[in-house]
Structure 1
Amino acid sequence: MKPRKASALAGSLATLALALSACGGGDIDDETAANEAKAADAGDCGELNMAVNPWVGYEADAYVVGHVAETELGCSVTYKDLKEEVSWQGFGTGEVDVVIEDWGHPDLEKQYFADQGGDGSAIGAGTTGNVGIIGWYVPPWMVEEYPDITNWENLNKYADLFETPESDGKGQFLGADPSYVQFDEAIVENLDLDFKVVFSGSEAASIAAFEKAEKNRTPLIGYFYEPQWFMSEVPLVKVKLPAYTDGCQDDEKAVACDYPETELKKVVSTEFMESNSPAVGLVQNFQWTNDDQNLIAKYISEDGMSPEDAAAKWVSENPDKVEAWLS
C-alpha cells in the first residue's frame, strides 16, 4: 500500500475545505468538503487496485466498492481490466489488491492460498451475498416449441436445428468467453453429444446472440449464468444436465455433470489484508443481493450509464446498506 497523502495533510485539507465552504469561497462545494472530512476521520487509505473481470456484474461490484472507498474513505482507486487468472497473478506483484467477485477457482487457490499449499500471496475475504448459477440455456420460444429440449438426454435429436457454418456439421453450442469458469467442451464429449462448442468471445456477444434468437425465433443453446440483468429481459430456460456432485469437476477433462450453485467470494492480496487501510473492512463487509447487482448492471448495459455513474446512483439510493459496510 502506497500512501496517497499523510494523515496530517488529509486533516489540513479537510479543515481548509470546510472553512472555504462555510465562507462561500472557492470552488469547493459542501459535498467535496464533507468527503474530505470523512477521509480525514477514516485515516489514510492510500491506493486501492481493483481488478475488473470481463462481465458487467463484476463491474457493478467493483465500481460500487470503489466509489464508496473513494468518497467515504479517501482511497485513490485504480480499476484494472483483467482476465480472472491474470488478476490472481497480480496479488504477488502488488498490481492487484482486490478480486471482488470470484466464481470458484480451486486451481488458483492451490497456487496462491497459503493454507492450500500456495505461495501465500492471496487470501479469502468472505462472500459477496450473490449466488452464482452457471448452466446451459435456451431461449424461451424453444421450450414452447420443443418442451423436452430442457433435458440433456434429448439434445442429440435436436442437434440438426443448431447447426451453423462454424459447427462442422454438428449442432453449435455457444460458449462465452473461454476464460470464464467453463467445462463445456468436456461435457459435450463425455455425454456423447453431437455438438461443437463455438465461443462467442464475450458476455456482450452472448447476450446479443440470445436476444436475437428469441426475437427471430432461431435455435440457440449456450452457456449463461445468473446473476445477470439480461434474465429480466429474456428469461432464458436452463437445460437439465446430470446433477453436480462433489468431485465431479475435479478432473477438467472428465467433467460430465452440471455446474454447482456457487456462493460468490471476495479474494484479496495478503499484503492488502495485513495493511492498515480502512478499505480492508469495507471489502470484508461488502454484501448485497443478486437484485442489487442486476440493477446496476442494467444501468450500465441497457441504460448506457458509465460504471462510475451507475455506482454513484445506487450508492446514493441505498445509504443504509452502505453504512453497514462501513461499520
Structure 2
Amino acid sequence: MPRLLRRRNLTRLFAVGLALVMVSSCAVRTDQIARDPNTVRMAVNNWVGFEASAEVLAYILREEMDYEVQLVRVDEQPSWQALDQGVLDVIPENWGHEDLFELYGPEGNGTVVDGGPNGNEGVIGWYVPAYLAEEHPEITTLEGLKENTDLFRTAQTGDSGEFLAGAPGFVSQDQGMINAFDLDLEIVYAGSEASQITEVRRRYAEEEPVLFYFYDPQWFQEEVDLVKVDFPDYYEGCDADPEYVDCDYPVYELNKIFRAGFVENDDHAYRFLDNWQWTNSDQNAVAQMIADEQMPPSEAAEIWVNENRDVWEEWLPEGYEDRQKG
C-alpha cells in the first residue's frame, strides 16, 4: 500500500503541474523540461478502455522493466498540448484527430510522432437496444429513423427526439449528421462515459427507447444487446464541414502518439510501447473488470498480465533485462 499511495500522490502532483504548464501564457518547449529518463509519463483520457490500456502498460513497465510511470488524467486535446510542451511522453489510444496531428506533427511543430497502430479497431456509431429494433426494425435505417424520431422524445427535448451523447470532448460528428440528414433530434450530453452507460443501463432495464452515441472497443457491448443504425458509408471529405456530415463515422485504426523526443531517445520504454499491440477483446476484458466489477485498475491490470504472459512477452524489447535494477 505505501507504494500505491506514493504513486497516487506523484500522479496528483504531476497533474497539477501539467495544468499549470498548459495554462501558462509562455509555452514550455520540450527541450526546456528536465526529465528523469527512468520515468514514463502517460496520458489517461476519460474513458475506461483507455484506462485499461494505460494500466496494463504501466504495470508491465513498473513490474517487469523497472520504470517509474506517471499516469496523468487529461482530456484528449490537452494530451496533445502536453506532448507538444514536453510534459507527457505518450498517448496510447488516439481516435483520429488529424487536425491535431497537422498542428503538432512533422508538418507542424514537429513535437509529436505517429506511433503506429495499437491493435484496436475503433468503431463509432449510433446505437439502439435490440428490443427496440425488434419492435421497430425500420429505425435501424436512416429513412426509418427520420420518420420515427418521436420515439425518442423526452421531457428535456420536448417535441424533438433525444440523441444521448457521452462527453462533449469525445470525437463526434453527430450535430453535422443531424443537420445533413434533417433529423428532428436534439443532442443531450450525459457528461461522461460512465454517466452515459448508467443512463443507458437504466433505460435498457426498463426497455425504454434510447438512441445514443457509442463505440467499440467498449466493455458494455458485452453486457447489452445493441444494434447499430445504418447510415451511408463514410467517404473521403464527407466530414470536412462539421456542420454538414452526410455519412457515417469512419472505422478508425487506433494508434499511438509519441513525444518526438521520447522516440529520439529510443530507450527500452519507447521500444516496448512501440511493440505493443493488443485486441479489442483484450481491452474489453480489462475494462470490464474495472467498470463492471468495480476492481481497482491496477488489480485488473495485474490479473490480465498474469493470465496473458504469452501475449505481452512479445512486446518486451530485446536487451531490456540489461537495465533492470538489482
What's the TM-score bracket when you normalise by the shorter of the two chains? 0.7 to 0.9
For residues 86-165 of structure 1, the aligned pairs below 5 Å read 86-114=78-106, 117-165=107-155
Shift of 1:253: 1.9
Shift of 1:235: 2.0
Shift of 1:169: 2.0
Residue 46 of structure 2 aligns to which amino acid in structure 1? Answer: P
Shift of 1:250: 2.1
- From 44, 48, 57, the equivalent of 1:52 is 44
Contact map agreement 2:141 2:230 (CA 8 A) in 1:
yes
Contact map agreement 1:53 1:82 (CA 8 A) in 2:
yes
The aligned residue for residue 313 of structure 2 is 323
Shift of 1:72: 1.6
Shift of 1:276: 4.1
Residue 232 of structure 2 aligns to which amino acid in structure 1? Answer: P
Residue identity (%): 42
**Aligned partners of 1:92, 1:264: CA distance in 2, in Å?**
20
Shift of 1:166: 2.0
**Aligned partners of 1:92, 1:46: CA distance in 2, in Å?**
20
Partner SS state of residue 286, structure 2: helix
2:278 matched to 1:288? Answer: yes
The aligned residue for residue 33 of structure 1 is none
The aligned residue for residue 15 of structure 2 is none
- From 192, 195, 214, the equivalent of 2:204 is 214
Contact map agreement 1:45 1:278 (CA 8 A) in 2:
no
How big is each residue's C-alpha offset from its partner over 1:211-269, in whole Å with a ceiling of 9 and x where there is no partner?
Answer: 12221011100100001111111021100112111111122222121001111100010
Q: How many pairs align? A: 282
The aligned residue for residue 31 of structure 2 is none
2:154 matched to 1:200? Answer: no
Residue 48 of structure 2 aligns to which amino acid in structure 1? Answer: V
Residue 277 of structure 2 aligns to which amino acid in structure 1? Answer: Q
How big is each residue's C-alpha offset from its partner over 1:9-44, in whole Å with a ceiling of 9 and x where there is no partner?
Answer: xxxxxxxxxxxxxxxxxxxxxxxxxxxxxxxxxxx9
2:287 matched to 1:297? Answer: yes
**Aligned partners of 1:250, 1:272: CA distance in 2, in Å?**
32
**Aligned partners of 2:40, 2:137: CA distance in 1, in Å?**
50
The aligned residue for residue 68 of structure 1 is 60
Contact map agreement 1:175 1:200 (CA 8 A) in 2:
yes
2:213 matched to 1:223? Answer: yes
**Aligned partners of 1:232, 1:240: CA distance in 2, in Å?**
20
Structure 2: state its 5+ residue gaps.
1-35, 318-326
Shift of 1:317: 1.0
**Aligned partners of 2:234, 2:108: CA distance in 1, in Å?**
27
**Aligned partners of 1:92, 1:214: CA distance in 2, in Å?**
42
Partner SS state of residue 64, structure 2: helix
Partner SS state of residue 272, structure 2: helix
What is the TM-score normalised by the length of structure 2? 0.84
The aligned residue for residue 234 of structure 1 is 224
RMSD of equivalent CA atoms: 1.2
Shifted more, 265-274 versus 205-214: the winner is 205-214
Shift of 1:176: 1.1
Residue 258 of structure 2 aligns to which amino acid in structure 1? Answer: V
Partner SS state of residue 148, structure 2: helix
**Aligned partners of 1:205, 1:153: CA distance in 2, in Å?**
30
Contact map agreement 1:97 1:268 (CA 8 A) in 2:
yes
Contact map agreement 2:120 2:279 (CA 8 A) in 1:
yes
**Aligned partners of 1:122, 1:253: CA distance in 2, in Å?**
29
Structure 1: state its 5+ residue gaps.
1-43
How big is each residue's C-alpha offset from its partner over 1:67-106, in whole Å with a ceiling of 9 and x where there is no partner?
Answer: 1111122111011111100000001222111100001110
- From 247, 268, 272, the equivalent of 2:262 is 272
Shift of 1:182: 0.3
- From 237, 240, 247, the equivalent of 2:237 is 247
Shift of 1:45: 5.1
Partner SS state of residue 246, structure 1: coil
Relative to structure 1, is the Cα distance of residues 323 and 45 closer, same or farther in structure 2, using a 3 angstrom cutoff?
Answer: farther
The aligned residue for residue 160 of structure 2 is 170
